[in-house]
Amino acid sequence: MEIILKKDVTSLGYAHDVVTVKDGFARNFLIPQGHAVMATEPNRKINAENLRQKSFKAQKTRKEADIVAKSLENITVKIGAKAAATGKIYGSVNAIQIADALQDQFKIEIDRKKIHVDGESIKETGTYTANIRLHKDLQVTINFEVIAE
């Protein structure tokens, strides 16, 4: 039976793919769980239209991500933290503080979930790097400096 996947299914395919599976798997699991619909002619037309709209939106978000990536090139974010005389900071610096500092210093709004700090969190003053995933195939590395207040 041919079906159109509505969601990504591990080891079967991605959303909007037309795949062939056994009838029982489709009728008893995929369709009732909302993972797929039968590949009838009307559903194929709806899927084609959804793919067209999705590609248009993807191009638009990619262009926006490119603009943000250009603005993030060669910047160093400074993050102030209370620190002891030895350089250890009280608490830690994580993606939330980096996102807030980007907003305050450069007026660039980035979701904290898209920021990945090398290591789990920063607990000493110094210069570090963080990776920002702006799009599924666009990742930018920024430098940030933790300074004692």
CB 131 within 8 A of CB 139: yes
Specify the CATH number of the domain 2-63.
Answer: 3.40.5.10
- Number of helices (H) and strands (E) in the chain: give both, helices first: 3, 9
What is the fold, at CATH topology level, of the domain defined by 69-148? Ribosomal Protein L9; domain 2 (3.10.430)
- Write out the residue limits of the CATH 3.40.5.10 domain(s) in the chain: 2-63
pLDDT tens series, the chain, 149 aa: 999 999 989 889 889 999 999 999 999 999 999 999 999 999 999 999 999 998 999 899 999 999 999 999 989 999 999 999 898 999 999 999 999 999 999 999 999 999 999 877 799 999 999 999 988 789 999 999 999 98
Which residue do the tokens 């607990």 mark?
123
Please give the sequence-ordered ranges of beta strands (E in DSSP) within the chain, or none if there are none.
2-5, 18-20, 36-38, 76-81, 88-93, 115-117, 122-124, 126-135, 138-148
For the entire predicted model, the pTM comes to 0.67
DSSP code at position 66 = H
Residue 62 pLDDT: 92
Q: How far apart are CA 37 and CA 44, in angstroms?
A: 10
The segment(s) of the chain belonging to CATH 3.10.430.100 are 69-148
What is the pLDDT, as a whole number, of residue 115? Answer: 93
